[in-house]
Structure formats: C-alpha cells, structure tokens
A = this chain, B = another copy of it.
Amino acid sequence: MSRSTMRSRAVPYRPRTLAPIERVPGLDYDVLDELLGYSLRRAQVAMFLAFAAATRGLDITPPRFTALVVIGANPGINQSVLGRVLGIARSGAMALADWFEARGWVERRRRSDDGRAWGLHLTRRGERLVAAMKERVRRHDRRRAAVLTAAERRELVRLLEKLAG
C-alpha cells in the first residue's frame, strides 16, 4: 500500500500572525450590518483569534483541532465518518489522518468489523497533546466569551444551535 508515500510539506510550519478584519472608520457598510450572516462572520473572527492564541506554536487549525477531539472521543472512528463530521470529502479526511500519523499523534488500526475501514486512534502522545490543547482552547474560548454573562452565553449557544438546525 502506498500510504507510506507521505505527503510532505515543503514548509513545515510557518507561524501566522492573525489580524482582525478592520472596521474602517467612516466607511459605509450598507446592508452588511443588517445581515445575520455578516454578524456571524464578525463574531467568528473574534473567536477565531482566541483559538489562534490558544494554539499558537502548535500548527493547529480549527479542522485539525475538531478532528483530533472527535478521534479522541470516538476511538476507532473511520475516515469517512470523520470527513462527514468536518464537512469535507473522504480524500481530505485522509490527508488529515496522514498528517496526524506523520506526527505520531494518531494511528490507524484494522477494524475487526469491517475489512475496508481503518479505525483512527490517538496515540499516547496524541492523547497528552490533545488533552493539553483542549484545555488551552477551552480557556481561551471562555476568556473571549467573558464579555458575555453566563446567562447570555447559554442563550447565545441556544440560539446558534437553533439557527444551525
């Protein structure tokens, strides 16, 4: 099998400095300020910045983080399901798994119930890393969300879930 043909990145890791979208003073934003989609986008920027701060130096992105958390909480999950969770194609989920495996965070194990599928599992090292990562992300998320009261926070999550369907 040629999964050993690992996809290599020419540039291993480049730290990224993140900047918020500028709210240019004096500019007319017209209809944008009425759109829920645009409000969501702006709020997402704020939370994304918190995420970036939490994962600085780890070469982690939101999809990668989501994948690691889901693998950790659902050992043996296969790549197709992972792709559905992330909303990406199987091929993309596989590239993710390769990437994790190359770092020794995740390993593939044969599944007894399905000869086609590989089960994804965190390694010891992956578990330690994900645990630390989750803690840092949660802390930053809460800190950023601290502009809201606890009740507001709960209400916001409720409304977002309702919206997401």
Interface residues of A (CB under 8 A from B): 6-9, 11-22, 24, 27-32, 34-51, 62, 66, 69-70, 72-74, 77, 81, 84-88, 134, 137-138, 141, 144-145, 147-148, 152-153, 155-157, 159-165
7 contacting pairs across A/B (C-beta < 8 A):
A8-B18, A12-B62, A14-B41, A27-B74, A32-B69, A43-B161, A47-B163
The oligomer's copy count stands at 2
Judging by beta carbons under 8 Å apart, are B34 and A138 in contact? yes
Judging by beta carbons under 8 Å apart, are B13 and A8 in contact? no
Judging by beta carbons under 8 Å apart, are A37 and B32 in contact? no
Mostly, the A contact residues are: helix
Judging by beta carbons under 8 Å apart, are A11 and B48 in contact? yes
Judging by beta carbons under 8 Å apart, are B40 and A137 in contact? no
Judging by beta carbons under 8 Å apart, are B160 and A43 in contact? yes
